[in-house]
Amino acid sequence: MAHRYFLTEVTEDTATVTGSEAVHLCRVMRIKPGDSVVLCDNAGYDYAAVAENVSEKVITFKITEKTKNEAEPAKNLTVYMALPKSDKLEFIVQKACELGAKRLVPFVSEFCVAQKSKKEDSKKARLEKISAEAAKQCGRSCPMEIGDTLTFKQLLQDMQKNSVNLFFYEHADMPLSQVDFADKNNISVIIGSEGGFSERECALLSENGAVTISLGRRILRCETAAVSAVTLTMYTLGEME
């Protein structure tokens, strides 16, 4: 399979790649005129392309074919993830992107051990890079969007954008199979950190329309719960057939 890269600009028959992608192509991949790659446009399309002019600043390609990317999901899934400790969030970003989530939004809840970083911009840039690499690896044309870290109040506001919000909670007893997703295109999953949620937060999520869903009788680590919730939701939506 040809290597995949994100293009900078595209016209009917020409595309350009600049920035870090161009540097990587030149220094690591040793691209030369005549080499074939697949370029992704962040809008759901892939382009078979042949390199024409090569430099570390800008590489121009001749487009030979444009195709709709079949790996991009039809449904929009947002993952609201309470901030976990250490590098768990990086793992969750990678796996959520591979599984087809459109957006991941970190948030701070009462029992989060980790808190919003003073180096928020650099951490977000790191997560965006992980998402982009995961998108390439799994054949997507768009990286999963990484949102800014929200307060719990901001989370309650942001989730109003969605048709269905699934709150995965260890004390719930409703299975995912009972949720009606008919004609629902914007769905979210809400996952807690290592400390879980307070009773107040659980009540607020329910009051704001979240559907409380069970992941079974076992208590899962937050990273396991995140991957499980995304997998089960995407499967139920028909995105893994």
SS3 state of residue 10: strand
- Where in the chain are the domains? 4-68, 76-236
pLDDT in the model for residue 2: 66
Per-block mean pLDDT, blocks of 10 residues, the chain (241 long) = 84 92 93 94 92 94 94 95 91 97 95 73 90 93 95 96 94 88 94 90 95 89 94 94 84
Assigned architecture for domain 4-68:
Beta Barrel (2.40)
SS3 state of residue 224: helix
pLDDT in the model for residue 57: 93
- The CATH superfamily assigned to 76-236 is SPOUT methyltransferase, trefoil knot domain (3.40.1280.10)
CA angle in degrees (0–180, nearest 5) for 85-233-186: 95
Helical pair 88-99 and 120-138, crossing angle rounded to 10 deg: 40
pLDDT in the model for residue 83: 92
Q: pTM for the whole thing?
A: 0.90
C-alpha distances (whole Å) from 95 to each of 62, 88, 92, 130, 197 are 33, 11, 5, 10, 23
pLDDT in the model for residue 170: 84
pLDDT in the model for residue 1: 54
- The residue ranges of DSSP E strands in 1-94, in sequence order, are 4-6, 9-10, 14-18, 36-40, 45-53, 58-68, 76-82
